[in-house]
Every structure is written in C-alpha cells, then in structure tokens.
Amino acid sequence: MVLLPFVDLDPELTALRPLGGFFLLRATGAPACPPPTLAETYGPRTSDVYENSMTFRVRKVASSLNAPELRIAASVAQQGLAARLWSVALGCAVRYGTLPDLSPELLRWDPDAGAPDDLWLTEVRPSTDDLVDAVLHAHLEPLASLVRERYRVAEGLLWGNAASALAGAARQLHRWAREQGRADDAVRTRELTSGLLAHPRLAGALDANLRRRSCCLYYRVPGGGVCGDCCFTRPPGPSPRAASG
C-alpha cells in the first residue's frame, strides 16, 4: 500500500470531532491516573491491578451481556476495540491525509469505559506508517494473538471480526462524507477500505456484499440474535442429534 501523503496534524485532532464519538481520539486532558497503554495490554502479564486489560474488559463485557462463555465476550471485546482502532486511523487518513503515530506505546485504552471504547493518544506526532502497519500489524495482530491464546477463539473468527469492524467504520465515514457533500472524502474512504480488505489477513473474510463468512458468536448471548452482516440469517439452532438427545 502506498504511504499516505504527509500534512500537518493539529494537537487535538479536531478534524475527527465532526465524525462523531465512534471516531473520536482524545489527545489532551490527561487523566490523573492514565489507563494502560495498548503495549501493556498486548504484552506479558504483570502484577499491576490492570495486569490484563483485556481480561478485565472481557469480564466486564461478559457481565454486561450475561454471556454464557468468556470466549463470546472475548470476541465481542476484540471486535469493539478493532472497530475503534480502524475508525480513528481511517478518519485521520481521510480527513488529514496522514496518520498520527498510533504506536501501542502511545495509545492508551481504558478497559473499564463504556462503548465505544475509550482511546487516548499520549502525544500527537506525525507518522509515515500506512494503515496496514499502523493498525493491522501494530495492533490487530498482537490483539488477535492475545485473544486466541487466552480464550481459544478461532483465528478465522477474529480476522472476520477485524474485517467486519473495518467495513462498519468505513460505512459510517462514507455516510458522513456523503451527507456533508464531501465527495473526495467518500471516494478516499472507499479506496482505502478496498485496499485494506484485499490484504491477505482480511481477504475472503467478507463476501462481495460485505457480509462476513464467519460469526462473532453474539447470537449465543441471551436475546442477542444475529448481527446485520452475520453469515447466518437467523440464530443457528441445536443440531438434530442434540435436539433429540
């Protein structure tokens, strides 16, 4: 993928604000007790109270959804964080034409916040990374590895989550651009998203209509149903053998 052209970034990333809370990336007003960085989240366990930010998040999601298995909550939590990472990066790429440095060491995540996931960038500085390096390699790969190893969630499911999260962020950004009469932003959103979905990690995760080929397991949450882009048109029932036994 071609590197994005460099332009100046303002220190508060104000161009993201009109896009809505899903795209917001806090860059000022550091809290007294800052949340852990995503590098800490992806890294080895420590003895800190936030020793496993993802563990904390998964348990919070499981409690909120009354999920019958932690791996269901882990899938939902991973997709939620992936969606926020894609949204802030794609928003910057479209609105600024460049990316700030989104390294895991600079990006903080509060696992105790509500939805959408709360992200805070410690320092706004320009980066020459493209979207693949900034999001997929730096964040989604270690995140998928963490969730897969800790919760035994299938790798294909996790990359389906990542692709679905990207498509959802792009859909919202494209809708905003069309409503605001920003045709160039709409075209850029489509082009960037198409390029990302062709990456080997994501290729084949969605069909031509952007319907995913895997399921995030949300249908197994009590009253959850299926998502709008689910591979199922209705929640799967028990197998005939299970039903008769």
- Per DSSP, the residues of 43-104 read S---SSTTTTHHHHHHHHHHHHHT-SSHHHHHHHHHHHHHHHHHHHHHHHHHHTSSEE---T
- Expressed as residue numbers, the domain containing 40 is 14-244
C-alpha 199/C-alpha 136 separation (Å) is 10
C-alpha 110/C-alpha 60 separation (Å) is 12
Q: Given this model, what pLDDT does residue 47 score?
A: 42
Q: How confident is the model at residue 183 (pLDDT cuts 50, 70, 90)?
A: very high
4 assigned to some structural domain = no
Sign of CA dihedral 77, 78, 80, 85: positive
Q: How confident is the model at residue 182 (pLDDT cuts 50, 70, 90)?
A: very high
9 assigned to some structural domain = no
The secondary structure of the chain in percent helix, strand, coil, rounded to multiples of 5, reads 50, 5, 45
C-alpha 2/C-alpha 195 separation (Å) is 10
239 assigned to some structural domain = yes
88 assigned to some structural domain = yes
Q: Given this model, what pLDDT does residue 1 score?
A: 43
123 assigned to some structural domain = yes
Asked if residue 7 has pLDDT above 80, the reply is no
Can you tell me the mean pLDDT for 180-197?
Answer: 96
Q: Given this model, what pLDDT does residue 215 score?
A: 82
C-alpha 107/C-alpha 242 separation (Å) is 46
7 assigned to some structural domain = no
pTM for the full predicted model: 0.89
pLDDT tens for each residue of 81-129: 999 999 999 999 999 999 999 999 999 999 998 877 889 999 999 999 9
Q: Given this model, what pLDDT does residue 4 score?
A: 42
3 assigned to some structural domain = no
Q: Given this model, what pLDDT does residue 122 score?
A: 93
Q: How far is CA 83 from the centre of its chain?
A: 3
Asked if residue 157 has pLDDT above 90, the reply is yes
1 assigned to some structural domain = no
Q: Is residue 119 helix, strand or coil? A: strand
C-alpha 69/C-alpha 118 separation (Å) is 24
Structure tokens at 196: 């990302």
Q: Given this model, what pLDDT does residue 42 score?
A: 92
Provide the 8-state DSSP code for 118.
E
How many domains is the chain built from? Answer: 1
